[in-house]
Amino acid sequence: MEIAKGIIRQELGEFHGVKAEIVSHQVWGIPANALALYLPEAWSALSGRQGFKEVEAVCNCHLPRSLCESLHERYRDWETYFGEVLRQVLIELNLPTGKVAVLSTGVNMEHLAWVEEVYEELWALAFVTAGVKTNAMRIGEDRASTIERNGQFEQVGTINIIVLTNASLDQAGLASSFITITEAKVIALQELNVRSSYNPDWQATGTGTDQIVVVSGRGNKHTYVGGHTKIGELTARAVTRATIDALKKRRNVSD
């Protein structure tokens, strides 16, 4: 563990050249933390928030309740200040803002889970945080809601999934992986019988704010990541196992 200038870095390890650490820091004087994954070189990635881009790092940022409340109290639009918070986080972590795929969540990185699945030379690695206490939903059945209601911020949970693989995926391959990852997440929710926060009679399929980032490697080319493919199987198994672990870590957590 390294401590410097109020920043605490906890190394999680190195996975096939990808260095992982949890960084505890402050944003506007408010304690927070983040998962930082440093890639050995620029790799292609697809983010549900940022689209397709070349990245040198992936960052899952914990935005605690007090920081979210501070965002609202500054009386500017959410997207503008959300962007400012993320820029501040990346500055604190010394990451290049244009080369980072960023996710955000109300879940503390202490509850992070990760799982790797391997077959011969092929591997898939999933990092997951999961909070479903307040906004687990059955998509298309539960009515949509916004993050902000009547001028007040609503604290929500999120399932954030980061998948890295040594398989070389083009944009179509990355896009197909989102289907597999989503199906694998639903299996985890079914395994733990997570119900909709709005209608407990319904099985939840996720939360209203779930995020995914998939990072392509430099190995053999794979054009599709569906269930009939080995890379699809590895991806799904890693995501399901990591999501189950992450959900279990959040049980009985009040924040």
The pTM of the full predicted model, rounded to 2 decimals, is 0.88
What does each C-alpha distance from 191 to 52, 117, 178, 185, 204 come to in angstroms? 32, 19, 20, 10, 11
Domain boundaries, the chain: 2-250
Query: Could you state, in chain order, the average pLDDT of each consecutive group of 10 residues for the chain (255 residues)?
Result: 66 96 84 92 95 95 75 56 70 81 91 98 98 70 53 62 98 98 96 90 89 97 96 98 95 59
Selection from 106, 101, 120, 118 nearest residue 214 by Cα: 101
DSSP designation for 203: B
R_g of the chain computed on alpha carbons: 18
Q: What is the pLDDT of residue 250?
A: 83
Q: What is the pLDDT of residue 164?
A: 99
Q: What is the pLDDT of residue 225?
A: 97
Q: What is the pLDDT of residue 29?
A: 79
Q: What is the pLDDT of residue 128?
A: 98
DSSP labels for 230-247? HHHHHHHHHHHHHHHHHH
Rounded Cα–Cα distance for residues 141 and 254 (Å):
26
DSSP designation for 112: -
HSE-up of residue 244 (Cα within 13 Å, Cβ side): 13
Strands (E), 63-184: 100-105, 113-119, 122-130, 136-137, 148-149, 152-153, 159-165, 168-169
Q: Between 3.60.70, 1.20.120, 3.40.50, 1.10.8, what CATH number should domain 2-250 receive?
A: 3.60.70
